[in-house]
Copies of this chain bind each other. A is one copy, B any other.
Amino acid sequence: LLTAAYIKTIKSLQLAKFRKELGQFVVEGDKAVRELLQSKQIQTKAVYALPQWFEACQKHSIQILRNANCIETNAHQLAAMTGLKTPTQVLAVAEIPQYILAKIPDNQWVIYLDQVQDPGNVGTILRLADWFGIEWVIASPDTADTWSPKVIQASMGAFARVKSARTDLKRLDLKNTHILAADMHGKSIYTGVAAKSGILIMGNEGQGISVSLEQLITERITIPRHPKGGAESLNVATATAIILSNLHLH
């Protein structure tokens, strides 16, 4: 039975505090919930949807709902659970996976987000990681919560595939790891990067890389501005796009 108290609990998952306390997060909307249900990594606790959503879903892709705990709800209940202005037909609650990066993989890049504040940027970077076949995105303790509704939405399903964990870079075993940092004073990304794998640090939107990480950096790269260009900087997600594209290329 879906009690008012439980609806309130679901609604509370909009806030980082309650997500941390309960170890759960919310996914909203048809496409995102389908991605969640297909995830091999994330366990769905329950799917709350209008009867017509379950019907449509069963008609087209019966398999993904096989093991799910499906709970029919009405529009009123969904409106009370949602974090969106316009509630969708379906909302799911899932367990936040506790990924642990025991060892830096030696054949691929890992992204480290250093104090990236904007959830739209974090979600867009997860989506980029997913596109470029990057398995891990590590968030510094002060980066936006990777399980927030805005990150989930901007990630466009990437949250269900890319592994995101929250830890301080300094706590990882970095022996023999190439640490590449996007920095205004690095060498041009177009001249190539010395390694084929390692950690790529993307810094805070305004302040760049944290001082405490400086000593860990092996190589600094920059995206050169056009001589006629006027912008002071690039958005962190678009900078990540350009860098990943170049790492991928070389």
With A and B bound together, what is the CA distance between A132 and B241 in angstroms?
Answer: 15
For residues 218 through 250 of chain A, which have their beta carbon under 8 Å from a beta carbon of chain B?
A: 223, 225-235, 237-242, 245-246, 248-249
Q: Which among A131, A134, A157, A237 has the greatest number of chain B C-beta atoms within 10 A?
A: A131
Tally of contact residues, A, Cβ under 8 A: 38
Contact of B124 with A232 in the complex, beta carbons under 8 Å: no
With A and B bound together, what is the CA distance between A180 and B222 in angstroms?
Answer: 27
For residues 140 through 164 of chain A, which have their beta carbon under 8 Å from a beta carbon of chain B?
A: 154, 156-158, 161-162
| Nearest-CB residue, chain B, relative to A243 | B245
Contact of A229 with B127 in the complex, beta carbons under 8 Å: no
* 19 intermolecular pairs with C-beta atoms under 8 Å apart: A120-B120, A127-B231, A127-B234, A127-B238, A131-B229, A133-B228, A156-B231, A156-B233, A156-B235, A157-B232, A158-B231, A161-B230, A235-B237, A237-B237, A237-B238, A238-B241, A239-B241, A241-B242, A245-B245
Chain A interfacial positions (CB closer than 8 Å to B): 120, 124, 127-128, 130-134, 154, 156-158, 161-162, 190, 223, 225-235, 237-242, 245-246, 248-249
Q: List 17 additional A-B contacts (Cβ < 8 Å) besides A124-B238, A131-B223, A238-B240.
A: A127-B231, A128-B231, A128-B234, A130-B229, A131-B234, A154-B235, A156-B231, A157-B230, A158-B231, A161-B230, A223-B245, A235-B237, A237-B238, A238-B241, A242-B242, A242-B245, A245-B245
